[in-house]
Amino acid sequence: MRRLNARTLDPKPDNNINNKMDSIKLHFRSNAPFRSNLFSRNPKHTTKSNIIVFALITITLALLGYFFVSGRGYRDSLKRKFRIVIDGGSTGTRIHVFEYGISDGVPVFDFGKNGLASMRVNPGLSSYAEDPEGAGVSLTELLEFAKKKIPKELWGRTEVRLMATAGLRMLELGVQERILESCRRVLSLSGFKFHHGWASVITGPDEGIYAWVVANYALGTLGGDPQQTTGIIELGGASAQVTFVSSEPMPPEFSHMVKFGNITYNLYSHSLLHFGQNAAFDLLRESLVTRGLELVNAATESHQRGKSIDPCTPKGYSHDMESRNPSPGSLAEKNGYQSTLHPRGNFSECRSAALMLLQDGNEKCSYHHCHIGSTFIPKLQGKFLATENFFYTSKFLGLGIALDDERIGFANQVGDIPLDWALGAFILQSTGDLGVEWAPNWIANICS
C-alpha cells in the first residue's frame, strides 16, 4: 500500500522508469536515519546493548527449543508402546516384538515392517525335557534381539509373555513346569516387565482362537457379520487347530463365545494333539511299523529293529528314525525303539494309511459324527484358510493345484500381515489391558 501511495501522490507524470524506481527506494530509506539514531546516542552502550539483546534472544530460543523437543519426546514416549510375545512352539521358539501407538485411548496397530520384528531359534522348548535349564538359556538370544528393537528407557514398561503350545502340552506336567520355571528366571532378569503367570502353556482352543482373530483382522472381517468370517485350519508341528463360526449346536467343551463390538461369534475351536505335521508323521510311521511287526514271525524279527514298508516316502530316499528326533510323547520317544522303513512311494497306499490314522478311535465316538478319531467336528461353514505347514508344504512342492473346494486356500499372510496366532494374542491382550476390548469402534481404529 505504501508503494501504491508513493506512486499516486506524485502529480507529475514521469516516463523515466529509472526515476520512478529511485523515488520508491528513497521512500523506504527515509526511516533508516531514525533507526540509526536510536542506537547512536552512546556507541559503547550500543555495542553492549546489542550483545545483551542477542544473548537474551539466543537463550530464550534455546530454552523454548529444549522444552519443545523434550516435551514432545516425553509425549511421544507415552504414546509409543511395545509388547513382546514369545511363541514356544514344538520345533522352535520365536519372539515377536510389537510396536504400537495409543490414539484417544485406543491401540493403533501396524503389522508391517515398522511395527513387527521377529526372530526364531531352534530347537523348541520341549526338546529340553532332559535339560530344563537349557530352555531358559535358549531365550537369551531372543531377548537380546528384542533389546535392540526397543529403546532402553521403555524396557521396564514393555511386557514380555511366553506362550508355549503343543510341544509342551505333550510333556508330563512336572516336566512342563520345570521348563517354564527355567524360562521365568531368565525373563524376570531380562529388564522387561514380567510376572510369573506370564509364562504358561496355552490351551489348543485358545491357540486356534488367536489364529482366527488375526486372520479375520487381516481380511477386514473382524467385528463384522459372523457369516462373512473365514475359518482357520492351522497345521503346527505337534498339533492342528480348527476354528470357525458354526451355527450348529455344539457340546460345551467345543463352543467358545467371542465378542467384538456389538457382534458375538459362536466359535468352534479344537486342537488335535499329535496331529501336527511332525507328530502325525511319527504316528504314521509307528502305525506302519506296528502293522509290519504283526506280519512277521517274532522268532526271526527283532522288536528292536523292525523292517516295514513306507508307502509315503519316495523310492530311494533314506530316512530312518535315527536321523531325526522323535516327537515328545511318541512311542519312539517313550520306548526308545528304532525301525527301518523301506520306501515304496505308492500314493494310493499312502492315502489309505493316512486315512486309517485319522479314523483311529472312531469307534469311541460319542457324538453324532466324528470325522477324525473320536473328536466332534461340526459341518464346515464358510471359507477357510489352511495355514502354517499346510502352506509351507504346498509352497515347497510347488503344487499350484486348484482345489475342488474353492472355499479353501493356502496362505501364510494376508497383505503384509503374517497369519501367526501370536499376533492374534497380541491384539486381544493389548485391547483388553487398555479396557477398550470390544468397544464398538476399536476395530475401526486399528490400522495395518
What residues are designated binding site for ATP?
237-241
Residue 411 in contact with residue 391, Cβ under 8 Å?
Answer: yes
Q: Other C-beta atoms within 10 Å of 9: how many?
A: 8
Residue 393 in contact with residue 373, Cβ under 8 Å?
Answer: no
Which of these, 442, 419, 431, 432, lies nearest to 223 by C-alpha position? Answer: 442
d(CA 309, CA 294): 13
Catalytic option among 99, 207, 234, 286: 207
Residues in binding site: 237-241
Please, which residues bridge with residue 83 across strands? 98, 159
Which of these, 387, 436, 425, lies nearest to 217 by C-alpha position? Answer: 425
Tell the residue number behind the cell numbers 537474551, with chain if given: 56
Which of these, 144, 147, 142, lies nearest to 162 by C-alpha position? Answer: 142
Maximal C-alpha separation, the chain: 134
Tell me, yes or no, if 181 is annotated catalytic. Answer: no
Report long-range pairs for 326-329 (Cβ below 8 Å, ≥24 apart).
326/282, 327/90, 327/170, 327/237, 327/238, 327/274, 327/276, 327/278, 327/279, 327/282, 328/90, 328/126, 328/129, 328/167, 328/170, 328/171, 328/238, 329/170, 329/171, 329/274, 329/279
Residues catalogued as catalytic: 207
